Structure 1
């Protein structure tokens, strides 16, 4: 029997050989399986599966598909893992949710493609459904508030499909994902957030949080810290994290990052999450349930005081990326520097996160902003965060498109990696003035600024409640959100929504507002 190589591989793996035995059992079923399926179904790394395949002399191959002929499967029966993998805590619930699974398959198939620079790998539709079912089995979800800290996998939609009464908020850096979630009209609140720069103020006070972060110690530590920042005192964080069976030291570094946050591991479900990719870690990840302790809050504060921008495994913000070179101010003489600048310049400096968190105390005319590679998505917010007359943004690479959502605020011009934003004079029409007032007060609640502008534009003829009702009808997404945390698709819709609330006055014929709408729509 030609199986010495298989036996040697299993002996070397010892007690951890179950994953190889499971993969061998799949091959012995006699049907064709792709390499990706063998990786995902056995939760074994691609390298591990390839090592097993090399030791099977009777293996049949067709492209990327493999099987052992049934007449040879009996040669390995005594080596197979006859018992199933660790128990799935919600497997018994899945048969009752076929309709939800079918809907999730459609939603995930239609979602924007993942971005490698953000370490996106899609979870399977069944995994996303099982996350929702586990949340509901472990906690009482009707009326509960759930925060999804990043949601490329669309866990938010799964939860709303299974538990419509749950209040779900997504904080994500990917504008495409936020727009796609809103398009489904399932009642999920969306917030733009680059977690390296902060958690949106409206994304706090949740009962539960779930995150599937970049699988670096820096990424896991940051995302979990932000998830904890978004919780009430007695909340829980559900974390998806996995490492290949050959890289225990990487897993140890990640667990040390979690330990530094003084968290209690209430449960760990092995290989709970399965992915359409991530073959280096067996297309699988464990699911952790983490509970904060009385020592967690100060540990989170300390962790967030030392946030690094390099948190990903690849792309311009990978943990192994080279430090960026300092920008040359040239003939630009700023009053204030925002971001990372040499101390030798001798000018006042503000961190990017502080710039977005609160208005700068002193009035400034000219501001220089250093925007690191990988943080270009924050540019519209960095420009909105000030009332300075002239902002010059220094970028790592030329912009693919200028932030035309700000056309009512700035005249924009670009020269290579330098973008100049010169503040426009106040517009003449009442609706354009209202829009400009909203964007000029970007740290304030959008609906509140809009309400006061609307009352002023109507000459005091509206009560506050009447103004609020008009705003809710035109932009139900606007409640409790600031312009800085609003996804760009909402900012693009803002000129039309402002016009709708001013219907009946001269708002719809406001040339300034018309120009703003044309400026945005012409670049969608």
Structure 2
């Protein structure tokens, strides 16, 4: 093609033509470049790079492109150096950390498109950790990662071991992987399950000094994740929220909508680092995103409280919970509510049921059901779980004390096997019935059941009291020491925020705690026996010493 087509694209881009000239410079450097590499290296959208390639007519070898020297000279001088990276001078000293993060990222769970997962490059994750240390005083600080598919938590914990890191995420696979890697590396990283549409876990609220998030790139997704990040700050006036967000240079209105969602939360834009985050994918936005440093104001928390429940469940760009997805069909509520093994009526409806169905029944929101125990003790409860919220179902069942729970869900929910000690569950199609099992007889089963029956309580406290009931010789201190030994992850957490792998590990941990309690009892009896034997050898009574004058 003639250079005139290229000139037209450059003229149409105006001052933003620097991106296209950066693409031309790469094509002219003598090397071969894939489309994905051109996008990522220049932070230019895929559509813009494709349009330029059509006009420039490069040489091609498979999926790689380049310009011969005689063609390269036609496009003038390269654009020159890009703006300085704020931590570029620190990165050479952490090359080994980049390699380690590359291994951790490669071994992690594959991304889920319905959760808008796109992996940041290992270098980006390390640079995030370096920026935190360069901008803030981190010794003794607490960091909250609001979603962490990129494994930023591990990079921060390795580079800044004095930071206490908490991760909240809806993907149990990611939480299990972070726990496993953090354990093997000896890192101070704690994991909590949360679907942020239903709330932030109690143990993650008002505890962090800094929060970082790379949310779904919709106004709803960014607004919700940042709002939850603010809820996690213990001192909003001094805390910060770091946000990764990017949009194509072709869609400034989308960026404006997202920024408006941040303005609505009364957040100050302290800094924006352009194209700081780079990704393996996300070519529509140039495989890059800016890094925002947001500072809450005195008006931020009231704005969060007023808006956080209004974001809804459609926050993603893809899948059943995308902002453009059509609402699913309403359930056949009449048949669902009027049938059951006992013929009794349901007493409470949880979730989003049609307004004209069973209008006389009390209703509760999913978020409310998870947040606190229901005021009464209904025997039969019906729960409607929208598409995309299936991971919440095991927690919704744990939060329910009813004898019979009927669930309407559009897809099978993972993790129900962890509830086998609490419910007998049968499922057909999109309907599941969970019937509470009778109280067990075995001691280990009774203690496990006590934990499952009190899912809203602090796990370590409920566990401690259960051990004392099972072994009356234990003190509160002794019982808590046993819990800390067998389940250090149980401190300051409720059962509802435990990742699935922790729920599955609970029965064995409970059994071990009972064995340790019994062993301590036996050791105590043995000590008492030795003391009695010693007393008998001394005649059983200590001799009376004569009193001294004075």
How does the TM-score come out when normalised to structure 2? 0.90
Shift of the alpha carbon at 1:321? 1.0
Shift of the alpha carbon at 1:188? 0.8
Shift of the alpha carbon at 1:211? 0.3
Matched residues in 2 for 1:64 and 1:231: separation? 47
Structure 1, residues 318-347: CA drift from partner, whole Å, max 9, x if none?
001111222224223210000011232221
2:79 to 68, 78, 81: 81
The answer for unaligned runs of 5 or more in structure 1 is 508-524
1:381 to 389, 395, 413: 395
Secondary structure of 1:484's match?
A: helix
- Structure 2 counterparts to residues 26-105 of structure 1, below 5 A: 26-57=26-57, 59-78=58-77, 80-82=78-80, 84-105=81-102
Partner of 1:121: 118
Partner of 1:357: 371
Q: Please tell me whether residue 230 in structure 1 is matched to residue 232 in structure 2.
A: yes
Partner of 2:490: 478
Partner of 2:534: none
Partner of 1:7: 7
Matched residues in 1 for 2:83 and 2:350: separation? 51
Contact 2:415-2:500 within 8 A present in 1 as well: no
- Structure 2 counterparts to residues 300-449 of structure 1, below 5 A: 300-329=304-333, 330=335, 331-332=338-339, 333-344=345-356, 345-346=358-359, 347-397=361-411, 399=412, 403-449=416-462
How does the TM-score come out when normalised to structure 1? 0.94
Shift of the alpha carbon at 1:6? 1.3
Partner of 2:278: 274
Change in Cα spacing, 1:306 to 1:159, as seen in structure 2 (3 Å) is same
Shift of the alpha carbon at 1:269? 0.2
Shift of the alpha carbon at 1:380? 0.3
Change in Cα spacing, 1:173 to 1:506, as seen in structure 2 (3 Å) is same
Contact 1:431-1:457 within 8 A present in 2 as well: no
Shift of the alpha carbon at 1:505? 6.3
Contact 2:407-2:433 within 8 A present in 1 as well: yes
Matched residues in 2 for 1:12 and 1:162: separation? 44
Structure 1, residues 398-451: CA drift from partner, whole Å, max 9, x if none?
x16560100111001001110100000111111111111111100110111001
Shift of the alpha carbon at 1:270? 0.2
Query: Stretches of 4+ moved more than 6 A in 1?
Result: none
The answer for unaligned runs of 5 or more in structure 2 is 340-344, 520-550
Contact 1:411-1:421 within 8 A present in 2 as well: yes
1:246 to 250, 259, 264: 250
1:154 to 151, 162, 171: 151
Partner of 1:142: 139
Change in Cα spacing, 1:146 to 1:402, as seen in structure 2 (3 Å) is closer
Q: Which moved more, 1:145-154 or 1:316-325?
A: 316-325
Higher CA-based Rg: 2
Contact 1:430-1:506 within 8 A present in 2 as well: no
Matched residues in 2 for 1:63 and 1:255: separation? 40
Matched residues in 2 for 1:434 and 1:208: separation? 37
Structure 1, residues 134-190: CA drift from partner, whole Å, max 9, x if none?
011001112100000000000000101101110000000000000000011122100
Shift of the alpha carbon at 1:506? 7.1
Secondary structure of 1:153's match?
A: coil
Shift of the alpha carbon at 1:471? 1.1
Matched residues in 1 for 2:284 and 2:200: separation? 31
How many residue pairs get matched? 502
Secondary structure of 1:495's match?
A: helix
Shift of the alpha carbon at 1:8? 1.2
Matched residues in 2 for 1:401 and 1:5: separation? 53
Structure 1, residues 36-84: CA drift from partner, whole Å, max 9, x if none?
0100110000000001111113x11112211112343222233x212x2
Matched residues in 1 for 2:394 and 2:209: separation? 31
Contact 2:163-2:188 within 8 A present in 1 as well: no
